[in-house]
Amino acid sequence: MNQYNTEKETIQVEKQLGSIVFISQDQSLSLESVQEYAGQPTSKVKLDELALKARIDQNRQYLDNKLTNQEDIYGVTTGFGNSASNRISTSLSEELQQNLIAYHGCGVGDYLSESDCAATLLIRMNCNAKGFSGVSWALLSQMETFLNNRIIPAIPAMGSVGASGDLTPLSYIGAALGGKRKVYYQGQIRDTAEVLEELNITPYKLKPKEGLAIMNGTSVMSAIATNALKDIQRAIDLSCKLIALYVELIEGRASPFHKRVHELKPHRGQQICAAKILERLTNVDQRLGRRNRTDDNIEFGKQETFRLQDSYSIRCSPQVLGPLIDAQMWASQILTTEINSVNDNPLFDDENDLILNAGHFYGGHVAAVCDTLKPLVANMGALLERELGILVDDRLNGGISNNLVARDDLGDKAWVHHGFKAMQITSSSLVAEALKNAGPMSVFSRTTEALNQDIVSMGTIAARDLRRITDLIKPVIAIQAMAIRQAFYVDGKDAKAEKLNQLSREFFDEISSNFQPVIEDRPMDAEINNMVNALFNEQ
């Protein structure tokens, strides 16, 4: 019997000691830890040998004993997938693992980003460190060595249907651990064998089952989604701050964000959004709407400039962003469970003498998360793009110069300058492309691998779509930030900025420090990129 109580003790991972991801038993791997390691080249990983090694060794010994007894074990003494009916001699088990890695070396397209590949390796090590995958301590140690030397297997983006795990993408981890294919190292993509030779690291030779333990899993899709979620959460925060500045700029109503409004329809995400906007507005009580009676004698009707209520892109912004906030909180829970799970096949429960063939490699939950977030993130971009449409139109923006042209600075030359005319077009293009990619991927299951994989999740493509949509919306946010800063300038030379409350003023100053108002027409492509980098803390 296994000396460990698996119901009470799970092998999990958590960030500890600053930038060290400490692998132990009593805490879960947080999404923040994965994101920090992926984005911070100086982060380190530490296996808790005292807590983990005995369990890993015991689970591996259980598998070795089964091999000695010549028992049939899927993927160890049998073929893979549709070839599972082929029985394999135990003398060929190691060669079988090498061939598994080799024939899955058919990934296509550009490599995933280094941060996504780094997150994948960390998550895969965590999943294999649970003590139910039959791996050896030596394999985990090789993964630790790669992570701590920032030797990151380079994984092609395309080639996974997200069902029998990310088979083809994860084969690039198995190959790299053995000194093959390519890795990210010190800012370059290099041959793995050369890097290992430079660092005097011995290529790892896979033991029976270890190739399958690496490849049968959801770690690639989980890594992409986890990193995308960080940017999504940042994008939500920025959008709320920009909406507040926009409302202040056009002197919009405060009532859509009032606490009482959202007590009457108490979706949590909606309440969070409204509260974040409301705390950034000034004179809230005086801006709820018309409160005093009028003494005007109106016989039939009268046109006024006063707006009793604003357009939907302002008034309904908590209802647009609220579902995204709720969805990302749900997504965080799902992804945290996924990256802390045992998701390969078969599973070895040595305590109960069970070898269990199952389908934990199926990425259905990750696909559901990504397919849910995709249209919501795209709609966030659409909301800001609609607000930009109002901001650049002097028929709608309350008298701010058309296209945000700096008329007061330009004088007669204002007629030959164009302000943010093309910036709006770029924003519209980005949003359209994001919306085009927002449809669900999980409904496109394809029967493959000789009918063995007859239903698949498409979770990895869904995750890549989510990343693509997020990357499209980031410059939309940057353009909106630049436009708002421009509008404050052309509408009274920042006089309205002097009336902002402290929270809004701090954000306005942050934007202003990264973008100077446009006077004469100039290219702004580099400035968009700079603003994205500044807002999303990218290097």
Residue type at 242 in one-letter notation: L
DSSP summary character for residue 457: -
Instruction: Name the 3-class secondary structure at 87.
Output: strand
Q: What are phi and psi of 185, to 5 degrees?
A: -150, 120
Cβ–Cβ < 8 Å for 110, 178:
no
DSSP summary character for residue 453: B
Instruction: Name the 3-class secondary structure at 24.
Output: strand
Token digits of residue 507: 């954000």
Token digits of residue 333: 């829970």
Alpha-carbon gap, residue 192 to 152, rounded angstroms: 9
- Rg of the chain, C-alpha, whole Å: 28
Q: Name the E strands within 271-346.
A: none
Alpha-carbon gap, residue 366 to 30, rounded angstroms: 16
Alpha-carbon gap, residue 72 to 95, rounded angstroms: 17
User: How many alpha carbons fall within 13 Å on the CB side of residue 453?
Assistant: 21
Q: 510: how many CB neighbours lie within 10 A of its CB? A: 14
Residue 74 catalytic? yes
Alpha-carbon gap, residue 191 to 154, rounded angstroms: 10
Q: 439: how many CB neighbours lie within 10 A of its CB? A: 13
What is each CA distance from 346 to 68, 98, 188, 242, 420, in whole angstroms? Answer: 18, 18, 36, 50, 58
Q: Is 203 exposed, middle or buried (0-12, 13-18, 19+ CB in 10 A)?
A: middle
Alpha-carbon gap, residue 374 to 371, rounded angstroms: 5
Alpha-carbon gap, residue 539 to 235, rounded angstroms: 17
| Residue 310 CA from chain centroid, whole number | 33
Alpha-carbon gap, residue 25 to 65, rounded angstroms: 26
Q: What are the residues whose beta carbons fall under 8 Å from the beta carbon of 234, sequence distance 6 or more? A: 535, 536, 537
Alpha-carbon gap, residue 479 to 532, rounded angstroms: 9
Active-site residue (options: 4, 37, 62, 74): 74
Instruction: Look at the alpha carbons of 127, 128, 131, 137 in this order and tell me if their dihedral is positive or negative.
Output: negative
- Where do we find the tokens 């078969």? 346
Token digits of residue 107: 């990934």
DSSP summary character for residue 415: G
User: Which residues on neighbouring strands pair with residue 78, listed in sequence order?
Assistant: 87
Residue type at 301 in one-letter notation: G
User: Which residues on neighbouring strands pair with residue 46, listed in sequence order?
Assistant: 22
Catalytic residues: 74
